[in-house]
Structure 1
Amino acid sequence: MEPLAHALINDGQTTIANALLMHYREVGLTNDELLVYLQFKRLMDQGDQFPDAGVVAESLGESSNSVFQRLHEMLAKKLLTIESITAADQKIHDRYNFDGLYDKLAVALKQHPTETPSNVTNSAGGSVTPSTGENPRERVFKAIETEFGRPLTPMEMQSISKWFDEDHYAPEIIELALREAVLRQVYNLNYMDRILLNWQKRNLTTPAQIEADRQRGIENRLNAAPSAQRKQTGANAGPKIPLFKLGEDTTQK
C-alpha cells in the first residue's frame, strides 16, 4: 500500500448509518444539508462539539453564509438543536446536537420503511409540494435576514424557531414585529421579542387586532394634540385686554 494511502486510512474515519444514507430525504434532508451534516459530524467526532462554520465552508468550497443557511434549515426542521453544557473546565459551552435527525429517521423507518412521502418537508419544517415554493416560516427567516442585512447566527435561528414551536406566534405576527423593529431602526431579536410579548399580554393575537390597536394609538395622539396646543396657547396668551362699552368715558374711575 502506498504510504499516502496508508496515512489517509490512519487519519481517521467518520461512520454514518447506512439507513440515513438510504432514507435521508424521507426525514427532510436535502443533498446539500446532508453534506453539511457529514462535515460537522467529522469535526464533532474529532472532539470539536461546536465546529466553526467557516471550516466546514472551506471543506465544501462554499461561503459561510451558505453553511449557516443549511444549519438554519435543519434547525427549523428540528433535525438539529443547539445546547449549552457545562464542560469539565466548569465553563458553559455550546454544542450541536443532531439527535433529532435520528429520531425522525427512526419514526420514518417504523412508519414507512420503504415508501417515500409524496410531500416534501421543506426548509422551514412545513409540508409543501415541490410546486408551492417557500412556506410562511421560511419566509419569516428570510425576511429577518434581509432586514437585518446579514445571515442569522445559529442561536438566532433557534430563538426564531422557539417563537413558532414554543410560543406559537403566527408568521404574520412575527412579520409585524419585524416591521415595528425596522421602523424604529432596532435590528435585534430581543427588541422583537419584547414587542411580541407586549402584544401577547394585551391579547392582540391577529394582524387585524394589532392594526386596529395601532390606529387607536394614532387617533389618541391626534386628539390629544389640539388639547395640548390649546393649553399651551392659553398659558402664553399674554395680558388680558380690558373690555368697555363704546362711548364709555374711560378716564373716570
Structure 2
Amino acid sequence: MELLAHALLHDGQTAVANTLLVHYREIGLTNDELLVYLQFKRLTDQGQQFPDAAVVAKSLGESSNTVFQRLHEMLAKKFLTIESVTGADNKIHDRYNFDGLYDKLALAVKQPERAAATQTDQAVATNPRQKVFTDIQREFGRALSPIEMESISKWFDEDQYDPEVIGLALREAVLRQVYNLTYMDRILLNWQKRGLRTAQQVEAERQRSLEQRLNGGSQPKRQTGENALPKIPLFKIGEESNQAKK
C-alpha cells in the first residue's frame, strides 16, 4: 500500500470530462483513439510539452506504428492538428493539439441529432482518407512523420485531390522507386495543371499519350524525313552485280 500511495502522489491524476466519456462515440472517436488521447493527455498533465509516441505505445502495449496509425485517423477526422512550436531548448518541435476533439464535442452536446448525422457522413468520407494513409505508409515501408501526415491531409482539405488520384500518384512514385511525398506532390500538381482531376481522366490521358507515342514513332517517320529508315534490298549484296548483268 505504501508503494501504491507513493505512486499515486508521484504520478498525479488526469482529469477526464465525463461529457467526453458519454459522447465520444457520437462524435466518431473509437475506443482505441480515446485511449491514445488519454495517454497523451496524461503525459501533458505531467508536464511533458512534447509527449513521445513511443512512450504512449509502451503504456498501451502497442507498437509505435499502431499509435501513429491512430493519430493518422484522428488527424483525418479533425480531432487533432499538429503545430510546430519553439521549445525551451530553442528548437522547433511538433506538438499535438486536440482542441478539435472538444470542438466536435461541443457540437454534439449542443445539437446531438445534427452532430450524429454529420458524423455518419464523415465516417463514410474518411474511409478513403484512411486508406490513403495506410497505403502510403505500407508502400514507404515506414511510419509517416507528423509533418507528412499534415501534408497528406492538406491534399484532401486544401487541394481537394481525389483519393483515387492520390493512389495513382503513389503508384507512379513506387514504380520509379521514389518514396517521398515531395515527388508525389509534383505529380499531383502536374495533373491538376493539366485539368486531370479524376482517376478516369488520369488513366485516359495516360492511354492517349501511350497511343500517341506508339503511332507517332512508327509509320510517319519511316516514310519521310531524315529519320526515315533505309530500304532493305531483297537480294544479297554479292548478288546485285549478277542481277545487273542478266
The counterpart of 1:188, out of the listed 180, 188, 210, is 180
Structure 1 Cα separation of the partners of residues 87 and 63 of structure 2: 30
Any idea what SS the aligned residue of 1:143 has? helix
Query: Once the two structures are superposed, what CA deviation does each residue of 1:215-243 show, in whole Å capped at 9, x if it has no partner?
Result: 232223223433667845669x9xxxxxx
Q: What are the ranges of 5 or more consecutive residues in structure 2 without an aligned counterpart? A: 233-243
Do the aligned partners of 1:156 and 1:189 also contact (CA within 8 Å) in 2?
Answer: yes
How many residues end up aligned between the 2 structures? 231
Instruction: Find the counterpart in structure 2 of residue 59 from structure 1.
Output: 59
Match of residue 82 from structure 1: 82
TM-score by length of 2: 0.82
Q: Which moved more, 1:23-32 or 1:212-221?
A: 212-221
Residue in 1 that maps onto 2:25: 25
Counterpart in 1 of 2:122?
126
Secondary structure at the aligned position of 1:38 is classed as: helix
Structure 1 residue 42, shift from structure 2 partner: 1.0
Structure 1 range deviating more: 143-152 or 166-175: 143-152
CA contact (8 A) 2:80 2:101 kept: yes
Gaps of 5+ in 1: 129-133, 238-245, 248-253
Identity of aligned residues (%): 67
SS in 1 for 2:132: helix
Provide the rounded CA distance (Å) in 2 between the counterparts of 1:229 and 1:90.
67
Alignment of 1:132-171 (within 5 A): 135-171=127-163
Judge conservation of contact 1:140–1:174 (CA < 8 Å) in 2.
yes
Question: What residue identity is the alignment partner of 2:112?
Answer: H
Aligned to 1:215: 207
Residue type at the aligned position of 1:173 = V
**Structure with the bigger percentage of helix:** 2
1:119 is displaced (CA, Å) by 8.1
Question: 1:49 touches 1:94 (CA, 8 Å); kept in 2?
Answer: no
Q: After the TM superposition, which of the residue ranges 179-188 and 32-41 deviates more from structure 2? A: 179-188
Deviation of residue 206 (structure 1)? 1.8
Q: What amino acid is the match of 2:116?
A: P
Letter in 2 for 1:8: A
1:225 is aligned, of 217, 232, 235, to 217
TM-score normalised according to structure 1 size: 0.80
Q: Please give the root-mean-square deviation of Cα atoms over the aligned residues, in Å.
A: 2.9
